[in-house]
Amino acid sequence: MKVHVNLSLCQGHARCEEICPEVFATDTVEGKCLILKDIVPDDLLEKARLVVRNCPEGALRLSRDKGAAAEGETA
Amino acid sequence: MTLLFQPPRPDHVPADRIVDFDFFHIPPGMTDPAEIWHDLRRSDVPRIFYTPRNGGHWVFLDYADIVEGYRNHEIFSTYQTPIPPIEPFPVMQPQGVDPPDHNVFRRLLAPMFTPTAVRGMVEELEKRAKALIGGFADKGECDFIQDFAARYPTGTFLYLFGLSEDRLGEFLDLAGTFFRSTDPAARAQNVVDIYAVLESLFREKERNPGNDIASAIVTARDADGNQHPWQDILNCGFLLFVAGLDTVTNTMAYIWRYLATTPAARRHFRDRLDDPDAFLRAIEELMRINAVSNLFRRVTHDCTFRGVALRKNDRVILPNTVANRDPTVFENPDMIDLDRKVNTHVTFGVGPHRCVGSHLAKREVMVSLAEWLRRIPDFELVPDSGETRAFGGSVMGFESLKLRWDV
A33-64 residues labelled b (16+ CB within 10 A) or e (exposed): bbbeeeebeeebeebbbbbbebbbbebbeeee
Query: Which residues from A are below 8 Å from B351, CB to CB?
Result: 11, 57
Picking from B118-132, B133-147, B178-192, which range would have the lowest pLDDT averaged per residue? B178-192
- Strand pairing report for B315-319 and B57-60: parallel
> Is pLDDT above 70 for B388?
no
Q: What percentage of chain B carries pLDDT values higher than 70?
A: 96
Q: What is the distance in angstroms between the Cα of B370 and the nearest Cα belonging to chain A?
A: 18
| pLDDT for B370 beyond 90 | yes
Say whether pLDDT at B208 is over 70.
yes
| Residues B70-90: tens digit of each pLDDT | 999 999 999 988 888 776 778
| Of A71, A37, A65, A66, residue with least CA distance to A51 | A37
Contact status, residue B103 vs residue B383, Cβ threshold 8 Å: no
- Give A51's contacts in chain B (Cβ within 8 Å): none
d(CA B112, CA A70) in angstroms, rounded, equals 31
Mean pLDDT of B371-382: 97
| Residue B3 pLDDT greater than 80, yes or no | no
A56 and B354: CB-CB below 8 Å?
yes
Residue B386 pLDDT > 80, yes or no? no
Judged by phi (left if over 0) then psi (alpha if -120 to 50, else beta), residue A35 lies in beta
pLDDT digit string (tens) for A34-66? 999 989 999 999 999 999 999 999 999 999 865
**What's the gap in Å between the CA of A56 and the closest CA on chain B?**
5
Q: Is there a contact between A13 and B354 if contact means CB atoms under 8 Å apart? A: yes
Could you give the CA distance from residue B31 to residue B52 in angstroms, rounded to a whole number? 25
Nearest neighbour of A11 by CB, restricted to B344, B352, B359: B352
Count of C-beta atoms within a 10 Å radius of residue B87: 12
pLDDT digits 0-9 by tens, B299-350: 999 999 999 999 999 999 999 999 999 999 999 999 999 999 999 999 999 9
Task: With beta carbons less than 8 A apart as the criterion, state whether A57 and A10 touch.
Answer: yes
- How many residues are there in chain B? 407
Cβ-Cβ contacts under 8 Å, B352 against chain A: 11
CA A20 to chain B, closest CA, distance in angstroms equals: 9
Under a CB-based contact definition with an 8 Å cutoff, are residues B322 and B67 in contact?
Answer: no
Determine the residue among B343, B344, B358 to mutate to test chain A binding: the one whose Cβ has the most chain A Cβ atoms within 10 Å.
B344
Q: Is the pTM of this model over 0.90?
A: yes
Note the pLDDT tens digit of each residue in B178-188.
888 878 788 88
> Is residue B88 reached through a cis peptide bond, with omega within 30 degrees of 0 on the bond before it?
yes
Query: How many A×B Cβ pairs under 8 Å?
Result: 61
**In the predicted structure, residue B39 carries a pLDDT above the cut 80:** yes
Average pLDDT, rounded, for chain B: 93
Backbone angles phi, psi at B17, to 5 degrees: -105, 5
Q: What's the mean pLDDT in B219-223? A: 93
| pLDDT at site B90 | 84
* Record: contact B114-A12, CB cut-off 8 A: yes
pLDDT at res. A47: 95
Q: Write the pLDDT tens digit of every residue in B234-253.
A: 999 999 998 889 999 999 99
CA distance A38 to chain B (A): 20
Percentage of residues in chain B with pLDDT exceeding 90? 84
